[in-house]
Amino acid sequence: MMEATAEREAIKGGEFLIRETEAHEIFIPEEWSEEQKMMAQACQDFIDKEITPNVERMDKMEEGFMSSLMDKAGELGLLGVSIPEAYGGLGMNFNTGMLIADIMGAGGSFSTAYGAHTGIGTLPILYYGTEEQKQKYVTKLATGEWKACYCLTEPDAGSDANSGKTKAKLSDDGKHYIINGQKMWISNAGFADLLIVFAKIDDDRNLTAFIVEKTYGGITMNDEEVKLGIKGSSTRQVFFNDCKVPVENMLSSRENGFKIAVNILNIGRIKLASGVIGGCKEVASLATQYANDRKQFGVSISTFGAVQAKLANMAIRTYATESAAYRAGQNIDDKIDSLIADGMEEQDAKLKGVEQFAIECAIMKVHGSEVLDFIVDEGVQVYGGMGFSEDAPMARAYRDARIARIYEGTNEINRMLLVGMILKRAMKGELDVMGPAMAVAKELTSVPSFASPDLSAPFAAEKEVLKKLKKAVLMVAGKAAQTFGPKLNDEQEILMNLADMVIEIYVAESTLLRTEKLIGVRGEEACKLQTAMTQVYLYEAVQKVNSAGNEAVACFAQGDEMKVMLMGMKRFTKMDPINTRDLRRTIAEYMIEKNAFPY
């Protein structure tokens, strides 16, 4: 029995599409340990004390202020949460690092500086550096003694990062690489002591990464960018003019830079997904408070059904994002632990663990950033005219949120990437997607079963809905792959439709499993709020899957084949209507009484 359980828990990235996950297999945020809760509270105290009272100073880019905040975060250990103790960090696991990113998400511009330093600025050295490099640099970065930035993007190399033109040439004496080129949109550039720089050596096809100290010389910068949002974060263009970098500061091996960039971006994507949660909760709480305080027609606007629907939707989508993000984070942690137990070096295991769940990382980046955008937009609407005023907090939240859909690869790139990864793993035999897809295709032309499944267990009906949603995406993906073959990669609109179907399925399932697990601990009566949020989210997910699937089918199917597939979509996206009005009112009433985010 134990062996069977262990085997069940070894889920692979993307496998949720073809395998039913059980509630006990996932991690839920209600399971944080006391130590993790203490770290989260320390982080929240830092936000409350150092960030919230000083947002104006931060947004006006007061000289030295952001750097001083980073110093204070370093003193509290917040810059080294996931860094091993051997290099001055706290040595906590991946999901704990996500939890801290979650809390930091309410920190506005500071969360950008924090994320750039602890993520893309530090992790390349931690995961790819030599022992000497880690001892020399990671120990300084973990404490905040040094700050880091990441120089990848160029004027003509954004999503296509490997097309960068920055060059590195070995000096005549063989002791240095001489770097020349231009980088742009570099977060933390204004105060960073260390730069992770990507360049091509001579005529190499692929990038190589270098650790560059600011004191090496040959580095100049433009003035700070004036941005739409995250105004308090440092963002500059960086120019390298015969910058001499010691040969021992090459990071990893020659031409391995692109692989480093891709793997670090995977981490950044899932961290961004957790990083929006704190901001979502903060905006939802502020909107609830304003709705309670604001009077129109002699009553608080929180008594209006239209406003209550907005508040409830904020809570529902945040709950769903949180459920899916930490499910994925724990899957990564479990994979890391498994690889280490099998004898793999810790840093290699961390990279492989994240890489295994790169599909989920992309899913959550897209979903989380779009939920944040939705919530700040609704927050502005609840505030009405005041939402458009810089005297109220919504204007800043609205502006700051917009970058999340561009960070770590645009959402369009991530949508196509996640579908591409599923198909590639299927072609390699790593994911048995084609077998289930063929079974669904066969089911379309067979007589439907009229047998009634057992719906007596909690969420049994909802689980049947999820099973059918998975059949819907397998049907569309399977037929699209059969129709286009390798050219499916060029059908970006269809890939986007498929991605939307996959995203909704993963998030809806994660939300349902979280609530099911919570009911097992607390009982149904204590989980009415979570149950309501789960039911509404699933109902809306069904509509979205139906819409995306029908749109995709119409792009490539014709005649009788189209009719059969559209009938299949109708069959696979069928859910009995639910009273979403009353469920949303239940959620909103709880928020209004609490005057804050509901849980």
Residues designated catalytic: 408
Specify the length of the chain in residues. Answer: 599
Report DSSP letters for 486-516, one per residue: GGGGG-HHHHHHHHHHHHHHHHHHHHHHHHH
Q: How many CB atoms lie within 10 A of CB 342?
A: 8
Query: What are the beta bridge partners of residue 157?
Result: 154
The contacts of residue 276 (CB under 8 Å, 6+ apart) are: 105, 321, 368, 369, 371, 372, 401, 404
Query: What are the beta bridge partners of residue 151?
Result: 197
3-state secondary structure of 202: coil
Which tokens is 479 given? 């037929």
Which residue do the tokens 């690092």 mark? 97
Helix 492-522 to helix 460-484 angle (10° resolution) is 160
Which tokens is 238 given? 């960086």
Measuring CA to CA, which residue among 109, 114, 502, 99 is closest to residue 322? 99
CA torsion 358→363→364→365, rounded to 10°? 90
Q: How many CB atoms lie within 10 A of CB 543?
A: 12
Query: What are the beta bridge partners of residue 236?
Result: 186
Q: How far is CA 95 from the centre of its chain?
A: 12
Dihedral (CA of 148, 151, 152, 158) sign: positive
Q: How many CB atoms lie within 10 A of CB 144?
A: 23
The contacts of residue 148 (CB under 8 Å, 6+ apart) are: 116, 117, 121, 122, 141, 188, 192, 193, 194, 195, 196
Measuring CA to CA, which residue among 304, 283, 524 is closest to residue 380? 283
Radius of gyration of the chain (CA): 25
The contacts of residue 265 (CB under 8 Å, 6+ apart) are: 120, 408, 409
Measuring CA to CA, which residue among 538, 539, 561 is closest to residue 475? 561
The span from the CA of 297 to the CA of 560, in Å, is: 56
The span from the CA of 162 to the CA of 179, in Å, is: 16
CB 322, CB 537: distance < 8 Å: no
Measuring CA to CA, which residue among 421, 404, 491, 324 is closest to residue 115? 404
The contacts of residue 514 (CB under 8 Å, 6+ apart) are: 23, 26, 28, 29, 323, 327, 530, 534
300 phi and psi angles, rounded to 5 deg: -65, 140
